[in-house]
A and B are shown apart, each in its own frame.
Chain A
Amino acid sequence: MRKGMGWKVILVLAILGVAFFYLYTKPLKLGLDLVGGMHLVLVPEITGLPPDKSKDAIERSLEVIRNRVDEFQVSEPIVQLQGQGENRVIVVELPGLRDPERARKIIGEVASLEFKLVDEDGLSKALEVGPKKGWQILKDADGKNYLVKEKAELTGEYLKDAYLSRSSESGLGLSTVVALEFDSIGARKFAKVTGENVGKQLAIVLDGKVKSAPKINTRIPDGRAVIEGSFTREEARDLAVVLRAGTLPAPVKIVENRTVGPSLGRDSVQNGLLAGIVGTIIVTLFIIAYYKFSGVVAILGLVWNMAIILGVLAGFGATLTLPGIAGLVLTIGMSVDANVLIFERIKEELRTGKSLKGAIDAGFKRAYIVIFDSNLTTLLAAFILYQFGTGPVRGFAVTVSIGILGSMFAALFLCRLVFDTVFYQKEKISI
């Protein structure tokens, strides 16, 4: 080995070490398309709202949805705003989610909770000639009609807590209910309403539907109430979740929903791996058959590059997606190019009668420019793709970009190092 080469060897090993360190300490994050999960894009429907309310509707929706998502207990959920101005949307990503239907319901429910006074006697007349001014007819889940005041006595705004509970008040043994607890202002209001209307019915209205309409037996001073109804445990739990998280300022519309079941994602990983392995084997055999020992060096560079790509992805916490895997496999094919350019050039230089050392020197030097020029175009394309792309496609752009940079580095540095070491003071080259 020549002098001054020691640090190069150390650098090569150090880079490999860092790559493995990151891969070991920060395992690669897999995208939704691989682990399964849900990707939702939501837009609040603010067209009907007064301007003062619609102004920050999207921020408030984001906050409420974030609270709701926290209840799912998936690892690393994403809830964020994307886009600008009028085109802003809320993006929700829930990796590894088990029950997407339920998640969609919980996220999308407005959950506006209102307490409204019921007029039992006026109902039949209202059904005939229409409700009197300031009153309206609402239905419950079974289609039963209620005549209620339009103005709510109390809303979910004053809610402090909501949780699943059991109640024996219905007289039919224990039934599942949602227990509500108001804050101090809410409790005062609730006490006033119940105190003034003993004997009347108070309807609990959720998103315009009557949930239950219990009779007020006595003034309730402690700000506690329950929502009864024929809940399953799960329904009651979900209702408690959305009530706790707060009311959405407007209904949200789902404009995009990409959900992948966990097993299909696993299949994709396996298919991608298989393609990668087959591709690598063929490329390896081909390059070694054609370039002999130099081919082995090129493949060494390829393996080194792969370690760098995966290490960088892990280090930056980037996500590996299905297109990302495709990019990785494609990189295997594209990244040998730098080596091919160098090897062909060395062969040409040898043909002109140069010494081996001279040919290697000239080969690397001349190939350097063209490797730079030609790889930059692919890098440029990947950059544009990153700008344009959404999630998975961005994963592809990132993987390809790192792969190209890594391959240039591998060919010009690692390959050079091996050549300088092995063919130093030799007269023949296996290329």
Chain B
Amino acid sequence: MKIPQIDFIGRRKPCLIVSGLLMVIGLVVFLFFPASAKYGLDFSGGTMLDVKFERPIAVKELEDIRKGLEKNGIKASIQQIGKGNEIIIKTKGTQDEKTSGVIKKILEEKEKNFSWSSTYVGPSVSKNLKSSALKSILLGWICMLIYIAFRFEFRWAVASIIAIIHDVLITLGIYLLTGREFNTPTVAAFLTLIGFSTNDTIVVFDRIRENLKLTRKEDYGVVINNSINQTLTRTIITSLTVLFTAGALYLFGGGEVADFAFVMTFGVFIGTYSSIFVASPIIYEWHIRSKVK
């Protein structure tokens, strides 16, 4: 196969504008999405019961369960998933730890055979989880910044940080808009995405650095274009293999694993895109502008 000759740098402006817009949208979605729709149990606190029956549950029975909960003063959301035989009952906020026991009794009146898991997260725990989640994402960004500044140069580090902030914000927006909630595995997924996206950017940067050493006379834009083109096959193949496994997890993993895989599946696309269309154009722009002055 021949090395492609695509002019990425020439198309940087529309890409940067679109990316910038999407980032803003992602940020707006994140900031203005109601907390109740945004944070899952780990971060909002509350009780969740995941119940899997051996037979599908009829709408009427679901209604009975709902009424039974109301009678016991439990304000819960009921969600039917899978083949209609699995329901998730959630109560949020400062519910008592014993709630899940009450809910289970109500369910047992309907049908004795079910497998289940129950989770209770108290308010103090959820507050802690939330702050440490935020810390870890920020720490992730800072560590990447320092590492790249150390291995390459500071400007490139800034460019790659913008790229991963871009990835996180856009994936975040899509994640929330498709009605998913944050939980601790989601944070794990986002950190993995930060790692993967930086990984991708570094492969391109590494080639740019190498080519700059080899061809000092050539135009900066040409060098970047060549570098991206030379690493393009690798970028696509690696992204595809990650996509295959993340996709398999998304399709078959179920529950929280599916949420986790969703972040990775979309993130791979956006992370791959950003190392080519965000990180590289930024170091180009920066180079050009600093030269003019």
Which A residues contact B (CB, under 8 angstroms)? Answer: 33, 41, 43, 87, 100-101, 253-265, 267-268, 271-272, 274-276, 278-280, 282-283, 286-287, 290, 322-323, 325-326, 329-330, 332-334, 336-337, 340-341, 344, 348, 351, 366, 369-370, 373-382, 384-385, 387-390, 392-393, 396-397, 400
- Residues of chain A contacted by B192 (CB below 8 angstroms): 330, 378, 381-382, 385, 400
Count chain B CB atoms within 10 A of each CB in A341, A348, A379, A381 and give the residue with the most: A381
Q: How far is the CA of A276 from the CA of B119 in the complex (A)?
A: 26
Instruction: Tell me the nearest residue of chain A to B243, going by C-beta.
Output: A333
| Given contacts A261-B116, A275-B248, A268 and B243 within 8 Å (CB-CB) | no
Q: Could you pull out 6 A-B pairs where Cβ atoms are within 8 angstroms?
A: A271-B257, A287-B241, A329-B248, A333-B246, A375-B199, A378-B195
**Of the candidates B97, B116, B191, B249, which one forms a contact with A384 in the assembled complex, judged by CB atoms under 8 Å apart?**
B191
If A336-B238, A337-B238, A382-B195 touch, whether A264 touches B147 (CB-CB below 8 Å) is no
Binds A, one of B24-32, B57-65, B73-81, B135-143: B135-143
Q: Which residues of A contact B202 (CB under 8 A)?
A: 370, 373-374, 377
- Contacting pair B185 A393 (CB below 8 A): yes
Q: B244 — nearest CB in chain A belongs to which residue? A: A282
| Inter-chain contacts of A374 with B (CB < 8 A) | 198-200, 202-203, 206
Identify the B interface with A (CB < 8 A): 3, 50, 52, 97, 100-101, 115-122, 124-125, 128-129, 132-133, 135-136, 139-140, 143-144, 147, 151, 184-185, 187-188, 191-192, 194-196, 198-200, 202-203, 206-207, 210, 230-231, 233-234, 237-238, 240-249, 251-257, 260-261, 264
Nearest 10 pairs between A and B by C-beta? A381-B195, A333-B245, A263-B115, A388-B136, A255-B122, A279-B248, A378-B195, A279-B245, A333-B242, A275-B252
A256 vs B124: C-alpha distance in the bound complex, in angstroms?
9
Tell me if A384 and B125 are in contact (CB < 8 A): no
Interfacial chain B residues near A287, Cβ < 8 Å = 241
A283 to B100, CA, bound (A): 42
Q: With contacts A341-B234, A344-B233, A396-B188 known, is A256 near B120, CB below 8 A?
A: yes
CB-based nearest B residue for A277: B248
B248→A256 contact, CB < 8 A: no
Closest B residue to A36 using CB positions? B117
Residues of B within 8 A of A378 (CB): 192, 195-196, 198-199
- Can you add 12 more A-B contacts, CB < 8 Å, to A258-B119, A340-B234, A382-B192? A271-B257, A275-B257, A323-B257, A326-B260, A340-B237, A344-B234, A374-B203, A379-B195, A381-B140, A381-B143, A385-B187, A385-B188
* Docked-complex contact B115 and A385, CB < 8 angstroms: no
Instruction: Please indicate the chain B residues that have their CB under 8 angstroms from the CB of A274 in the complex.
Output: 252
Contacts of B128 in A (CB 8 A): 87
| Closest chain A CB from B206 CB (angstroms) | 4
Are B199 and A278 within 8 A (Cβ)? Answer: no
Residue of A nearest to B183 (CB): A393
Known: A257-B120, A261-B116, A275-B252. A393 touches B188 (CB 8 A): yes
CB distance from B36 to the nearest CB of A (A): 20
List residues of chain A with CB within 8 A of the CB of B242: 330, 333-334
| CA of A392 to CA of B248, assembled, Å | 20
Q: Is the CB of B122 within 8 A of A275?
A: no
- Write out the residue numbers on chain B whose beta carbons fall within 8 Å of the beta carbon of A341: 203, 234
* Minimum CB distance partner of B2 in chain A: A351
The residue among B97, B192, B241, B246 with the most chain A CB atoms within 10 A of its own CB is B241
